[in-house]
Amino acid sequence: MLNAQEAEALILELVCPLHRERDVETVDLGVARDRILAATVASQLDFPHWDNSAMDGYAVRYADVQDCPVVLEIVEEIPAGVQPKKSLQSGQAARIFTGSVMPNGADTIVIQENTQRDRDRVTILQSPQFQEFVRQRASFYNAGNPLLSPGIAIGAPEMAILAAAQCTQFQVYRRPRVAILSTGDELVTPDSPLQPGQIVDSNQYALSTFVAQNGALPLPLGIVRDRAEQLKQTIAQAIISADIVLSTGGVSVGEYDLVDRILGELGGELHVRSVAVKPGKPLTVATFPHQKHPCLYFGIPGNPVSALVSCWRFVQPALKKLSGLSNYQPQWIIARSRDELRGAVKRETYLWGQLTFLEGKPEFALARGSKSSGNLIDLAQTTALARVPLGEKSIAAGEEVWVMLI
């Protein structure tokens, strides 16, 4: 059985990221939020576009203001958004404001606090540095150079940069398609009155949300009964229509656990059958080498907690890598555990809870209630998984623990 690190590395290696030419679409700036850039963006504009003032004050010639105080003639006022009309001659100054374009002939700004004004004259009280408070054209960015690189997600700063650069349309990766199916004779939809023994298919909702939160398109295929023919048909359809398939249930060793056999019949190569983790030990990962379009199959345990923990731990980095994101590795940090954390010794154990901060220091607070993988109720508000390593019985309250952010 693979350990968690081996499984993670193997899964990431199996991922075929979306293609930088075939798997892209053009989007408008207004709807680009959270999309992933597929091509380098460059701008035809320099930043700043013009030499401009960083402060309210006076544009001057440095040569005129080396021996202060000195009186200069104000020949123009330059509000923001206006092109200066005059070229400064020796002995002249222009009133200027933050962001206003520098007039020709001026090379330095004197802030208004260091001046005294008298109608069309200004006394410069204190010598500035050469070029002080001038933002030079192209000092932030030179037109034509790469501005944003492929593989980054578009958030608020990137939106601002793209807008400022007047990039109103650009290429992003298409959203990965993720088929989701729930297997089990006991499953019903949330709107069905429960007969004895029936269970609501909560995984369909959990996994669809998880997929959407990761920027992918969920393709919900519903509940499939534990019948080989029906299951085979649905899985066959899923693997041709999706980049990733997530099925829950049917991968342990129960009599009705048909998924692995069916994957084999459909030409699947099984790379992972189980991982030494708790929860989530039964985990099937398969690829379909005979299929033209790559598909990564995850057969996930049916227990609602195991299902989500497996998604967070193993599917999430794979999905991010497939999406084209360059930063897809799971994020681990060290936190102090508020509670005692018990491990399963023979398996790396994940305990769900919340990462909080106490006086700036990260702390992990274990979820309350039963740690049964069937107890989905206490999974609410989970933001992190704490890890008790293989071979360790427990981590005492107050000790440090590695925590994965989800």
Residue numbers at the binding site for Mg ion (CB under 5 A)? 184, 249, 302
Quote the least distance from Cβ 331 to ligand AMP, whole Å. Answer: 27
Instruction: Work out whether 379 is an interface residue with ligand AMP (CB under 6 A).
Output: no
The residue count of the chain comes to: 406
CA 302 to each of CA 179, 181, 189, 310: distance values in angstroms, whole numbers, following the listed order: 16, 11, 15, 10
The verdict on 222 binding ligand AMP (CB under 6 A) reads: no
Burial label, 62 (beta-carbon count in 10 A; 0-12, 13-18, 19+):
middle
Count, residues near ligand AMP per rule CB under 6 A? 17
Question: Measured between alpha carbons, how far is 279 from 6 in angstroms, rounded to an integer?
Answer: 17
Residue 243 engages ligand AMP in binding (rule: CB under 6 A): no
Nearer to ligand AMP by Cβ, of 281 and 321: the residue is: 281
Q: Say whether 98 sits in a helix, a strand or coil.
A: coil
| Shorter beta-carbon distance to ligand AMP: residue 17 or 249 | 249
Examine residue 279 and say whether the peptide bond preceding it is cis (omega within 30 degrees of 0): yes
Smallest distance, Å, CB 313 to Mg ion? 21
- In the chain, the amino acid numbered 290 is H
Minimum distance of ligand AMP from residue 363's CB (angstroms)? 31
What residue 199 binds from ligand AMP, Mg ion, none (CB within 5 to 8 A, per partner kind)? ligand AMP
Cβ 226 to Mg ion shortest distance, Å: 6
Read off the DSSP letter of residue 315. I
> What are the counts of helices (DSSP H) followed by strands (DSSP E) for the chain?
7, 28
- HEC assignment per residue over 100-160: CECCCCCCEEEEHHHEEEECCEEEECCCCCCCCCEECCCCCECCCCEEECCCCECCHHHHH
Choosing from 100, 248, 274, 323, the residue that interacts with ligand AMP (CB under 6 A) is 248
Q: Is 202 left (phi over 0), alpha (psi -120 to 50) or beta?
A: alpha
To Mg ion, the closest distance from the beta carbon of 190 in angstroms equals 18
Q: Which is nearer to ligand AMP, 112 or 252 (CB)?
A: 252
Is 254 one of the binding residues for ligand AMP (CB under 6 A)?
Answer: yes
Binding residue for ligand AMP, selected from 48, 128, 150, 249, defined by CB under 6 A? 249
**Does position 201 bind ligand AMP by CB under 6 A?**
yes
Which stretch, 68-76, 95-103, 295-303, 317-325, contacts ligand AMP (CB under 6 A)?
295-303
CB of 222 to Mg ion, least distance (A): 15
* Chain contacts with ligand AMP (rule: CB under 6 A): 182, 184, 186-187, 199, 201-203, 248-250, 252, 254, 301-304
